Amino acid sequence: MNTELQPGAYGADVQSVSVPRPVGGPEALAQERAAAERSRTAFARLRAAAGEGAPLDGGTVTVPADASPRAFAEASLSANTIRAYQSDLRQFARWRAGFLDHEVSEPHELEQIRTAPVDPAEVAAFLAEKANALLPNGGQRYAPATISRYVAAIDWEHGRRGHTPPGSTPIVRDVLKGIRRTRSVPARRAKPMTLKALQTTLLKIDVADLQTGALGTRDQALLLFGFVGAFREFELTALTVADLRIVDGEGVYARVRRSKTDQDGAGRVKALKQGANPVTCAPCAFVRLYRLMAAQDTRGEAGLFAALAGAGLSVHVCADGLGPDRLPPSMPFFRAVSKWGLFRDTGISPTTVGKAVARRARAAGLGEEGWSGHSLRAGFVTEARNAGATDVEIMNQTHHTNAATLQIYDREYTPLVRNAVTRMRL
């Protein structure tokens, strides 16, 4: 079997595994589809076993029952943070081994390269070289934030091995401060998807087409949840069926089991209220997607196609209930969709959220640049500010822990809100 990865068709967000195309009619095509799905599922499981892809629980670190103190200490960080530190340490190891940015290094070439303990002067030299590196167009190759992250990774490696973190020494601290002062660049902010832009985008999604209806229904719910709930990307992708429930007269309650500001996993609930417009009603999107996935899981392709027939966004369905079919509580709610237009059992990654936002925004004629998964969260804060919401009201939905963070949104997305210039008669 040829297992070469190739992009999925019809805008599907998962990679495909090509298989030999059989000669024949519908029966042969069904065999090809089944073989491809089996291969893709097996490939996804292999990636998960190897630790690749996004963790389904938002970065939870697990330790065995007889874990050592060091294992518990490392569990203080999320799996995503540890992976990021390890990636940054590989960059430091490459530099110590003499590799240039454009040169390829093999894992065995870095095995003997020590990243701790290292003399602080050497760390300072590493930072300076990264700060001076340029792109072919003359721009900076590494932003100060990236270089600061390198220091955090090196400090982490030193600390866990019982050595003094270089970042605490005067030479590294001063070099890093100088880089921030002299190499600062404007941060690239995601374009906020405002309510009007969201409505335009959602209306362009076809949720009835037999080939693309499953993907369209999922993306419609994904974008609406992301906006109304002001979710971070990994919070969306970590949602399971058990995390969501409809509350009559209020909307959908979504339990976020772990987030950037809740690393201990205490959990918080976001309320996705009912909307007057069925296009922007989050409970309606929840019911549509739930019933569609349950129809496929219970009755196969025939059930999926029957559920897609006549589907639309013109009427409310949130009062219709979830129907007789039920999804397993532990199943990811936002599932990958195959190139055949069928739901897979695996959840999507945070990267898929950004790709879906950008793809749907382009299809709605909203331009090519600036769209990402954060556009939904930024759009929520922008609309809330324009509606006169207070910091506390916004933070109750975004789960920010510091009101100062919201000032970033004010400066970038709503500069006229709470600005004295609006009181002047110009």
Task: For residue 28, name the pLDDT band (cuts at 50, 70, 90).
Answer: low
pLDDT digits (tens, 9 = 90+) for 281-300: 999 999 999 999 999 999 99
Q: Which of the four pLDDT bands, split at 50, 70 and 90, describes residue 44? A: very low
Q: What does the block give as tokens for 68? A: 């050592």
Distance, CA of 24 to chain centre: 41
pLDDT tens-digit profile of 336-350? Answer: 999 999 999 999 999
DSSP per-residue string spanning 222-254: HHHHHHHTT--HHHHHT-BGGGEEEETTTEEEE
Q: Is the peptide bond before 136 cis (omega within 30 degrees of 0)?
A: no
422 versus 19: the higher-pLDDT residue is 422
**Which pLDDT score, from 0 to 100, does residue 231 have?**
96
Q: What is the pLDDT of residue 405?
A: 84
Annotate 263-319 with three-state secondary structure.
CCCCCEEEEEECCCCHHHCHHHHHHHHHHHHHHHHHHHHHHHHHHHCCCCCCCCCCC
Distance in angstroms (rounded) separating the CA atoms of residues 48 and 336: 14
pLDDT of residue 25: 53
Q: In the prediction, which pLDDT does 7 show?
A: 35
* Domains defined for the chain, CATH in brackets: 5-46 (no CATH), 69-182 (1.10.150.130), 195-374 (1.10.443.10)
Does residue 124 carry a pLDDT above 50? yes
Q: 8 falls in which pLDDT band (50, 70, 90)?
A: very low
Q: Is pLDDT at 127 greater than 80 in this prediction?
A: yes
pTM over 0.95: no
Residue 387 corresponds to which tokens in the numbers above? 């509606």
pLDDT classification of 21: cutoffs 50, 70, 90:
very low
pLDDT in tens, 364-401: 999 989 999 999 999 999 999 989 999 999 999 999 88
Alpha-carbon gap, residue 380 to 226, rounded angstroms:
9
- Give the per-residue pLDDT at 391: 92
Count CB-CB contacts under 10 A for residue 10: 13
Cα separation, 375 vs 35, whole angstroms: 37
In percent, the amount of the chain with pLDDT more than 90 equals 65
Output the average pLDDT for the chain: 85
pLDDT at 36: 53
pLDDT in tens, 139-174: 899 999 999 999 999 999 999 999 999 999 999 999
